[in-house]
Structure 1
Amino acid sequence: MQTIVTFKKIDTSNSLKSYVQKKLDKFDKILDSPAEAYVVLSVEKIRHIAEITLTCDRLKIHAKEDSENMYSSIDTLMDKVKAQIKKNKEKIKRHMSGNKQSIKDESKQAGAIQELFDNPLTDQIITETIDYKPMDIEDAVIELDSGKQSFFVFINARTQQVNVLYKHNNGKLGLIQHRG
């Protein structure tokens, strides 16, 4: 794993660098492909802050932790990252074992919708197809934050209805769901 450790308002320490590297090397066993980790260690008054951005294939994780000791901040941060990686792997495993027939039905529906847009009056409309999958709202928030779009369409795992999660101009998130 390629690791970059940055120090802010704290003296550079080889022991902290090696400690972070040792902790991150354990993730190589869990991750499927090579990863890059950007770690920022900083001190603000009495708070020791550890922050990480981990990118691997299509997975992007960002976490931040602070405490009164840098080593405990790093330990807690690595526990958070490990939990996020496991959650993502479980989610992928759940989706990969899903019913393949439903995927075929969705492609037929997409073809019927495309026929509607082939009308010359609708040449101004740009059509995009998306894959939406059943997930919790918390998972959708993670997906929205990791992407570059301002909205995310998904099937709510609890209600089995199509929902849209979007970003407001004020930074808050909005959820559009089916009434009823």
Structure 2
Amino acid sequence: MKFNIRGENLKVTESIREYVEKKIGKLEKYFDSVQTSEVYVNLSVYNNKQRIEVTIPMTSLLLRAEEEHTDLYAAIDLVLDKLERQIRKYKTKVNRKPRQNGMPKYIGGNLAEIPEVLDEVEEMEIVKTKRFDLKPMDPEEAVLQMDLLGHAFYVFQNAVSGETNVVYRRKDGKYGLIEPNN
């Protein structure tokens, strides 16, 4: 893995660089072949909060995680846990399909060492389907509806474009709008 480590409002010291490379480098144990992909790490400090964002683009998978903590080293450890969960979930999904068809197929390394993986797959099962009519409205009205319902997102028909849109609440408390790309 090749590391591209950047700092915002923070000088990336050699000890921080070594810690990030050591921790994120542990992800290689989950793969049979050595990954030659770039690892993009963005470290930042805002209002006494240390933030780390890690992006690892690979051929069939994009791993991305971010974490915020008062201690930078703790944030690095937490983001590593998130990335490991993503890898385990992906590998379980890939390995599960051939086994369902009766073929003993195995993809990746060291998956047998992780017994909780099968429990995580069960959590991905869709247990409820909901249907509803889309009411034409503007995004501001959709945000109000979402807040009234106490949901984190709201699907609606944009009154101006006629397209299906989604408004959602972001982690910073502000709102986002998802529109189709035509």
Give TM-score scaled by structure 2 length. 0.56
2:85 paired with 1:83: yes
Structure 1 SS opposite 2:165: coil
d(CA) in 2 for partners of 1:38, 1:32: 22
- Tell me which protein shows more helix as a share of its residues: 1
d(CA) in 1 for partners of 2:23, 2:84: 10
2:49 paired with 1:47: yes
Cα displacement (A) at 1:171:
4.9
d(CA) in 2 for partners of 1:14, 1:51: 18
d(CA) in 2 for partners of 1:171, 1:22: 39
Tell me which residue corresponds to 2:6: 6
d(CA) in 2 for partners of 1:95, 1:62: 24
Cα RMSD, aligned residues only: 3.1
Cα displacement (A) at 1:158:
4.1
d(CA) in 2 for partners of 1:32, 1:41: 29
Give TM-score scaled by structure 1 length. 0.56
Q: 1:1-180 counterparts in 2 under 5 A?
A: 1-33=1-33, 34=35, 35-99=37-101, 158=127, 169-172=165-168
d(CA) in 1 for partners of 2:60, 2:50: 30
Deviations 1:3-35 (A, max 9, x none): 111101111211111100001221111124413
Which of structures 1 and 2 has the larger relative contact order (alpha carbons within 8 angstroms, sep 6+)? Answer: 2
d(CA) in 2 for partners of 1:57, 1:31: 13
How many residues of Structure 1 are paired with residues of Structure 2 in the alignment? 118
Structure 2 SS opposite 1:51: strand
